[in-house]
Amino acid sequence: MKATFDALVEYGYAGLTIDRIDEFFPKSKSLLYHHYEGKDELLLDFLEHLIDEYEGGFGRDDEADAHERLTRILDGVADPKMDTGDVGFTRAIVELRAQAAHDPAYREHFTASGAFFRDRIAAVVRDGIEEGIFRDVDPDQVAAALHTLATGVMTERVTDGEAQIGAVRAELNAYVETRLLAEDR
């Protein structure tokens, strides 16, 4: 998985081959060919592993209240100064996501991952309502909008520019304040 990640960052989706993944792979190449029929099968497995890594942590942090947990998610999503490695990773995910426009296997993955992230964001919003921090909004509706915005930020970061991401982050704060935070906060 580490070799796939490194090769993706280096070559992008279009330039990726199993031979190039092998450049970063310490074990025998025959192992790669034994397990995977082609690069897409390996990449889909890679995407599944990514979701597994988010499984434990994303949106969950028992020490913090719902507002802090949401702020951490938004900071991660709309970070105005991402380091080079993370930008390379974002580029790879945007390219893999675009495969879903014509490839049902990728589409199935991104539909499932979208549902996962939306559910986690909705849970944070729901907790915030119960804690009296957030207003009585529809958690799923808020989560749908925030997830879509996150998809937009990732896409624009690598296809348009990073210049506007600071503005998006600031507007997200204004949104949280005017739409989500309870009057007396």
User: Is residue 164 a contact residue for a second copy (CB under 8 A)?
Assistant: yes
- Residues 180, 171, 156: CA angle, nearest 5 degrees: 120
Which CB, 16 or 32, lies closer to a second copy?
Answer: 16
Query: First CA to last CA across the chain, in angstroms?
Result: 44
Minimum distance from residue 88 beta carbon to a second copy (Å): 10
Does 86 participate in binding a second copy (rule CB under 8 A)?
no
- Give the DSSP H or E segment for 165: helix 165-175
Q: How far apart are CA 50 and CA 89, in angstroms?
A: 11
Instruction: Return the exposure string of 90-105: e unless at least 16 CB atoms fall within 10 Å of the residue's CB, then b.
Output: bbbbbbbbebeeeeee
Q: Using CB under 8 A, count the residues that bind a second copy.
A: 47
| β partners of residue 134 | 181
Among 107, 119, 123, 182, binds a second copy (CB under 8 A): 107
Q: How many residues does the chain have?
A: 185
Nearer to a second copy, 28 or 141 (CB): 141
Among 97, 120, 125, 133, binds a second copy (CB under 8 A): 97
Residue placing its CB nearer to a second copy in the complex, 24 or 88: 88
Question: Contact residues for a second copy (CB under 8 A)?
Answer: 12, 14-15, 91, 94-95, 97-98, 100-102, 106-107, 110-111, 114, 118, 137-138, 140-142, 144-145, 147-153, 155-156, 158-161, 164, 167-168, 170-172, 174-175, 178-179
